[in-house]
Amino acid sequence: MADPPKLIVPGQSTPTAAGGQLHIANARGAVQRTVNVAPPVRTDPGFFKRLISELNPLRQTTRGAMAISGLGVAALALDVAATLNLGNPFLFYDRREQWKDLAGMLEGSRSDLWRSFFDDISPNWKGQAVQTLQQYVRFNVNGLYSQLDKVSGEMSGAMHSQYKEVLEYDLSVFGLYATSAPMLRTVAALSAHPVGKVALMTQVGLFMSAAGNLVKQFADVYNSYEGDLNKLELKLNGLRGAFYKSGSPDLGARDLNLIPAIADPLRLKEYWVSASKGAS
């Protein structure tokens, strides 16, 4: 039997056989087909490690000049605050891609469900069970998929924005040290002279001002995106309420509220009527 066709979306890694499996079963519980589900593998390009390795010598030069200037305590505090906020942008890039992958999987699952009903069930079966299932697919499941797709898109967008902000902050910090360290090293060598000492204090003061602005920039960005993520969390809580009774997974998933007789094997012909039989 030939392997099923695989759709590889541009920008997505080829699925591997090492992932999980989704088993599709019929009404009797017999597995009809198995679908391999493997998340794309993305490798950290190592940008953050290289940045830190190149930043550390610049920090040592800058900290040495700070100590000589007499403003060491305050300047070192800003140095620690500015560099402590450095982050690996790949982590947010990876989460952005994960949410994009999830959005694609959701749309694929929604389309599979939609086409399965209207291609396989609706043309071939009639009766109360089919009408109830059609109503549920149209007005419940389809709507929930749309909400999930919207939230996953917003989460991917939020992760992209944070990836961008973290990358820009990292580059801003590195740029500050890269431009300040040579100047501070030069002026620190002249600090034995009173004029040189004043010049060193001035340069350290300028560095402190720039570092303080970076720390404030980080705090503003953090608070802004914390608010955005809080809004998305509220939306996810709302979706939990749509999927689970009283919004609690412990209470179980919401059901179709079908009458028990529909599931009675002895009464299947009463609720599931073949379309060909109804036409004859």
Residue position matching structure tokens 């967008």: 157
Structure tokens at 130: 């089919």
Name the 3-class secondary structure at 159: helix
Distance CA 155, CA 161 (A): 10
pLDDT of residue 35: 60
Name the 3-class secondary structure at 274: strand
Distance CA 89, CA 190 (A): 39
Q: Are 17 and 35 in contact (CB under 8 A)?
A: no
- What pLDDT, in 10s, does the model give residues 150-191? 889 999 999 999 999 999 999 999 999 999 999 999 998 988
Instruction: Using the predicted structure, report yes or no on whether residue 1 has a pLDDT greater than 90.
Output: no
- What pLDDT, in 10s, does the model give residues 240-263? 887 778 878 788 777 767 677 777
pLDDT of residue 265: 80
Instruction: Using the predicted structure, report yes or no on whether residue 6 has a pLDDT greater than 50.
Output: no
Q: Which of 43, 52, 53, 56 is nearest to 87 (CA)?
A: 52
Distance CA 202, CA 37 (A): 60
pLDDT of residue 217: 86
Residues in the chain: 280
Average pLDDT rounded to a whole number, residues 209-235? 88
| H helices present in the chain, as ranges | 47-69, 72-84, 89-115, 128-136, 142-188, 194-243, 268-271, 275-279
Of the pLDDT bands very low, low, confident and very high (cuts 50, 70, 90), residue 20 is low
Q: Are 130 and 272 in contact (CB under 8 A)?
A: yes
Instruction: Using the predicted structure, report yes or no on whether residue 8 has a pLDDT greater than 80.
Output: no
Structure tokens at 158: 């939020």
pLDDT of residue 15: 39
- What pLDDT, in 10s, does the model give residues 28-86? 556 666 666 555 678 888 999 999 999 999 999 999 999 898 887 888 899 999 999 99
